[in-house]
Amino acid sequence: MLSIRKIGVLGRTYRHLNRYRQILSILFRYGFGDLIELLKIDQYLEIGLQFVAKNRTEPLEKLTRAQKIRMALEELGPTYIKLGQILSTRPDLIPVDFIEELAKLQDDVPSVPFSEINQILHHQLGDTLENLFEFMDETSIASASIGQVHKAGLKSGEVVAIKIQRPGIRKIIEVDLEIMLHLATLAEKNIEEFSFYRPVKIVEEFARTLEREIDYTIEAANLERMGLNFLDDETVYIPKVYRELTTSRILVMEFIEGIKVSQIESLDASGIDRKTVTIRGADICLKQIFNDGFFHADPHPGNIFVLPGNVICLLDFGMVGSVDRQTRENFVELVDSVVHRHESRATQVLLKLTLWDYEPDMRALERDVADFLGQHLYKPLKDIKIGKLLQNLLELTSRHRLRIAPDIFLMLKALGTLEGVALALDPEFDIISRAEPFIMRIKMDRFHPKRLTGDMLQTVSELLEVLQQLPRDFREISKFIRRRQIPLLIEQKGIDNTLSTYDKISNRISFSIIIAALIVGSALIVFSRTPPFFYGISLIGIIGFLAAAVMGLWLIVAILRKGRL
């Protein structure tokens, strides 16, 4: 597990200081000095901040803020590149205009020397390379920020690809995540407009995602699950995983020799039928999403190989998505209402598929949905582009502060990526028409007798559970009431104003009674000629009358100030 701590005093330790200085220097270089000042970071990093400030340069005026962030992340290294890549799939966390720019982030880096790779293999597998493998190429065939891939041969004669995590990458990630969490906390505390994007939540989500990505056993499980889903489909091939040689830092899988789907000339030279490959690739992606609800979330050309016989092979299952049956049905309902240009129903279903803090203005949202439908749907289906449609949908939801859930966005993005790959192979390909049978099957499945029976049985089962639980719940509640462990709170809205009014009325009545008592009492004292006397009149009586007069005037003034007697 990643060990991530909040930085308090840690911000001044050597563990973070050098990296903090490097991060701040890069942020200054790309024109984010104003942001650093707003963060009030100087109180946490007094040492070295003046040194960093000397390296400040003028903002790069020709670049957008999104471009500058993307370039800064590239320079900040592996953890921040991964942050940008993951955020490019999270429209629920960042503004729409940043998504397209962050999607351009690449993490191709130089390979680690083979001597260090050898040490990791020996430590993880508990044996020497000579005993484990027949051969292993010292030159990597792919290298990224978190790991690199080497070709090797097993003693059994099978050729494998070994994905090995870079040495020390966990320590680097932990330090960077702690600094990120600190910066996010300061941003949420000191910059009001950042609160909507919840930077602390972004870092916490990123840490969880990165934890899954650097655990190669999770990727192995994804490979095996996908292999089972396509076990009887001869048009697709999923590489075999060698579990006995796989650990959290090493993934050993079958080595695939094929042609990347982006290498059009090589495909044509090998006699591959591009139209067949396009149709099969689309069907594979659509089956994953609409039938299985478990899909490859990054089907870019580098992850799709074509094997002899027009067989499609999918690679790199570090990023996958999953959507439950209800979400798939909601999505199909959205598509159906969009196709039939039903603005009100499309708006309602869109709300089911999104998250929001405050309910949006429904009339404005319906108006924008109608504009969206008019922009995309009054044209032939083959002319509708999913990529453009997705971009406009994100702009619409962002405008109304609706957040598309991550897996739904990954699904839409996977469809958009698939469309791009398909059009490169076959410019006449119409993905909307190809998806129609899958969508229709989901619509029909909702009314299938087996499905209706299953839903009814589930409802009855849940109702029986509630009925069985009720007597136990009542017994528990009565037990707590007998023990006086449950306070009874009754809230009556508006009662405070009523009580205040009654309080004022009772005060005035009490005041009036006291005045009347003073008058009557003073009169009795005067008539009984109680000494001492003032000009032959009882002084105590005179004082009583004066007190009653003052209090009476006070009461009259108070009533007149309220405007009513």
Going 55 to 58 to 61 to 66, the CA torsion angle's sign is positive
Cα–Cα distance for residue pair 216/239, rounded to 1 Å: 15
CA distance 182 to 185: 5
Per the DSSP assignment, residues forming a β-bridge with 559 are none
298 as an active site residue: the answer is: yes
How far apart are the C-alpha atoms of 41 and 36, rounded to whole Å?
Answer: 7
Phi, psi of 5 (to 5 degrees): -120, 150
30-43 b/e (C-beta count within 10 Å ≥ 16 → b): bbbbeebeebebee
Q: Which residues of 416-451 are buried (b: 16+ CB within 10 A; e: fewer)?
A: bbbbebbbebeeebbbbebbeebbeebeeeeeeeee
- Count of CB atoms situated within 10 Å of the CB of 394: 20
Cross-strand pairs, 537: 534
CB 274 within 8 A of CB 268: yes
Phi and psi dihedrals of 508, rounded to 5? -65, -40
Bridging pattern class, strands 354-355 and 403-404: antiparallel
What is 317-337 written as a DSSP string? -SSEEE--HHHHHHHHHHHHH
Decide: 91 and 117 in contact? Cβ < 8 Å. no
Pairing state between β 259-260 and 133-136: unpaired
The Cα 82–Cα 109 span in angstroms is 13
Q: Is the dihedral of CA 297, 298, 303, 305 positive or negative?
A: positive
Query: At 404, phi and psi to the nearest 5?
Result: -75, 130
- Please identify which of the residues 176, 215, 298, 407 carries the catalytic annotation: 298
Q: How far apart are CA 251 and CA 218, in angstroms?
A: 10
Q: Which residues pair with 321 in a beta bridge?
A: 295
Rounded distance between C-alpha atoms, residue 472 and residue 478, angstroms? 10
Q: Are 292 and 229 in contact (CB under 8 A)?
A: yes
The values of phi and psi at residue 142, to 5°, are -160, 145
Bridge partners of 241?
253
Tokens for 310? 């027009």
Catalytic center residues: 298
